[in-house]
Structure 1
Amino acid sequence: MAIKKNLGISLLGASAAAFIFSEYLFKVAFKRIDYVPETSKDKQKYAHRYWDYVAWFKEVNKEHWTFSLNDGDDLMSAYYIPAKNGKSKKCVIIAHGYKGNGETMTGYAKMFYDMGYNILLPDDRGHGQSAGKYINFGWLDRIDYLSWLNKIVMRVGQDAKIVLFGVSMGGSTVEMMSGEKLPQQVKCIIADCGYSSINEELTYLLRQQFHLPKYPFYPLVSTINHRRLGYYLNDVSAKDQLAKNKLPIMFIHGEKDTYVPSYMALENYQATTSAKELWIVDGATHAESFWYDTKEYTRRINNFLEKYI
């Protein structure tokens, strides 16, 4: 009897510890932060170039756009940069990465600006100047971006030609947008190093960063997310959304990516039956492809866009 009682106490204690640690994991991974964390050491060699792009962004002509999520004070924020010729119908919406914001994407913005595009740089929920207590890994952002798309069409006109572009979490965001009913002005998608699903990504990070198994932590974090944000993590799948995609799409991924492993790019590529391209960048780590070889990155994207824009 005593053995059973002690076993029960031990199991209860283990369950409580698992739940407490899952709450900690949720807070670390999902709670908004009001600053951009320092980049990884392997990318700090690009800092001078990055700050040059930020300086360009601060000086370039731009407009601050907002919309309210619930007709209240919960405003979403974005910056719109008109094309330099003032008459271009080409537009790109650029989705930023995890714990970043629109400003962190200014290198990509300058690339598209030099190609003659109008540019929108949103801050996702829980990031930058946008509302939101929690990061949703692109799942709710994909719906918010429909509002941004409508604003672009109103600004540029019904004959706008729009590209969806994103990196890391932003790459998955535009991949997940592909399964929605998009305005006919959206012509193609470019996704750089997006994860295939939150299930796979969080399970991978649990193992790599915390040396923990999927169970019981992933289901507990998923349950916490459902209580806070209204959906289970298994809903967040780029692969499932890409299965519904009809738009031309280009996948880019660093071959040495250890944060979102490059096999996920192949999974995403295989998930869609639309016109598609895949470029695995030899030697590049996570979200490094643009910085690793900017000239080749720009050339390949320009060649892809010439087919569809």
Structure 2
Amino acid sequence: MQRPQRRRWLLLLFLGLFGAMNTVAFFHAWRFTHFSNEPGLHSPNPEQLSPGQKLWLLLTGIRNPKPHNGAKPAFPVETVTITSPNGPLEAWYARPDSGRARGTVALFHGYTSSKSHLTHEAGFFRRLGYNVLLVDQAGNGNSAGFRTTVGYREADDVAAAFHWLNDSTATKTQKQPTENQPLILYGVSMGAVAILRAEAELGIHPAANILECPYGNMRQTAYNRFESMHVPGFPMADLLVFWGGVQNGFWAFGLNAERYATQIHAPTLLLWGTADPRVSRAETDAIFAHLAGPKARHDFPGVGHQPYWQRYAADWEQQIGQFLARRR
């Protein structure tokens, strides 16, 4: 075969492979950021899969039905609707059992989750004397839509809930006005990143933040998912991030909690599990180092990307209780 013809075939082979990789990445990005309206369970976490199951996941994409809520909390709640740029959000609002509230804690869940997954945390805040607002972020639970952007557009939901709580003229609920009361934001993973962006770029100013396992940036979290499957991330992780952003109308490489942290002046408690396969120590170190305001951090040994209270209930309550006590 002559050299020019060989080069032409090599070029065609390269273009074919590049096109195939982009097609696969486009498909995976869509499945990752768009929930289906079908019953069933979400695909297991990559680290829980066998080699054959991982290969099948790479070929077919994740199964991603819209997350639904479980049972309501044991304590009484009022179901409210909050207007967000992403559509109507459903939330549960509750007051403590006795006395005037110390303030309000708004809670925001993680990826493929819902407000019902935070009822334990909300119950603890109520026992400390706080009103609580548990929010279904857009696309999740009983809120509008079937799309998630893993923290970017969810920041609009955080800002909408913040403004709703600060609107003392609201008449659709029996909530107490939050004037002269601290408004604290609590977020897990995606919810924590949404809080950081809402403060850094959307101009909200809470009294304090409690953040569990926020990822450092979208590119790194994509690489972490490939690493959890023991598959090289380059170039598919970058293509996945690129197409996910294109499909959802934002620059996904700019979704960066480490950068947002430089604009966070509210007192912040950062919590992380040392065995987390989704969020690395380096990411957590960078976020903590960049936080511009008063800050505290606590690591939970041997815990992965899961609620810390499940293994360290007393320690989790102590860290949060002490942090909030310093805010009074």
Range of TM-score over shorter length: 0.7 to 0.9
- 1:114-125 alignment to 2 at 5 Å? 114-125=127-138
Q: Would you say the 8 A contact 2:185–2:195 is kept in 1?
A: yes
Structure 1 gap segments, 5+ residues each: 44-53
Contact 1:89 1:156 in 2 (8 A): no
Instruction: Pick from 208, 212, 218 the counterpart of residue 228 of structure 2.
Output: 208
**8 A contact 1:167–1:287 mirrored in 2:** no
**Could you tell me which residue of structure 1 aligns to residue 82 of structure 2?**
67
Alignment map for 1:11-50 (pairs within 5 Å)? 11-33=14-36, 37=42
Q: Does 2:257 match 1:242?
A: no
Percentage of pairs with the same residue:
18
| Residue segments in structure 2 that go unaligned for 5+ positions in a row | 49-69, 168-174
CA distance in 2, matches of 1:81, 1:195: 29
Corresponding pairs, count: 294
Contact 2:200 2:264 in 1 (8 A): yes
Shift of 1:41: 12
CA RMSD between the two structures: 2.6
Checking the alignment, whether the CA contact within 8 Å between 2:219 and 2:238 is kept in structure 1 is no
Greater per-residue helix proportion: 1
Partners of 2:290 and 2:242 lie apart in 1 by: 27
3-state SS of paired residue (1:85): coil
Residue type matched to 1:193 in 2?
C
Query: Once the two structures are superposed, what CA deviation does each residue of 1:192-233 show, in whole Å capped at 9, x if it has no partner?
Result: 111111121112222332613332x24433332333221111
Partner of residue 6 from structure 1, selected from 9, 15, 18 = 9
Q: CA deviation at 1:38?
A: 8.1
Aligned to 1:199: 219
Query: CA separation of 1:252/1:58 partners in 2, compared to 1, >3 Å: closer, same or farther?
Result: closer
Runs of 4+ with >3 A deviation = 33-43, 67-71, 180-184
Superposition deviation, residue 42 in structure 1: 11
Residue 79 of structure 1: aligned partner = 92
Counterparts of 2:182 and 2:139, CA distance in 1:
29
Tell me whether 1:271 sits opposite 2:271 in the alignment. Answer: no
Q: Which residue of 1 aligns with 2:308?
A: 289
| 1:168 aligned partner | 189
User: Contact 1:33/1:126 (CA < 8 Å) preserved in 2?
Assistant: no
Q: What residue is the counterpart of 1:112 in the other structure?
A: 125
- 2:141 alignment partner, SS class: coil
Q: For residue 258 of structure 1, what is the aligned residue in structure 2?
A: 277
Q: CA deviation at 1:139?
A: 1.2
